[in-house]
Structure 1
């Protein structure tokens, strides 16, 4: 723990420090903070107002920030925040959609955004429209040390971007289309930017 943080911790009461350490541990290990109920259960505080008093004190002293009306929206002030999970709202379909109202059901995106070295590329034209990727979309690409046969990669070939399945041959790279509408293309100097992990689209 950094020395500056240790000095700041001296301003907390023993109970405030225990709650802060509990909140910090939850955020660092699972990506989001505990609920008021979880804090109360952990420390034997029966009243939600009692928990809120401690959280307000931690916020006033600059250790956390909280979003109003959001039970898990506790963030630490001493580190960049990384959102890796979202509340799972249910299944959307034409026949009997299922909507959930639970704070415990979450979708964890750590596998997409948390592992490896990820880079975001903004698409500016129709060059990837064949893959249903359009201007304004963001490609989340994971840079790898090596690429396995069949990996879906973003590649620059002769200066043009494309998404293809990668196959390494003896003296060249074979790039197979994702859809069987075109044949493979072959390159000896194609630049692979990374494995395509996700597409983010804002409406």
Structure 2
């Protein structure tokens, strides 16, 4: 399919999301696209995506998210070898001769030994910004016990939410880390409607991997 079928603005839109995907290996969020093009409403993002879907530049994936059409996959860069190369040894005491060697790679398995027990969700919203978690970040979650004060992903009333979780005499309190948002209180008689999806153990964004801070017992 010829790119000339796109309008100038549509081509700029398409080129941006492809460039973002090549650089970050994920698709941009609606907020990131809106900021890039100074859109006042997310409807403008939706309209452009719908136009690209209609013209065959994007398709709907199995998870209902958009993806690049197979006929344009050559625009996506080849995947790099995974992991960070370890190129040798460096002294952290007395000076010593440099040792260069191929010592393998630092991978996610290196950083997170229980990688098979982990999964990630992408954050939408700013209710946890004071915990350093922002819109568009990827939170890393694990299926393990959530103690009072831990951050966890919760499924309640058909909706998901990332909050700090507390148990008290009034029930379950889901507390945001942003004073602009109200806490959610779940009364004891509806506890069975609440499911904790996973415990927050860290998050990933453009600045790197951030581990959860261990909270001291009070």
TM-score (structure 2 length as normaliser) = 0.38
Larger Rg: 1
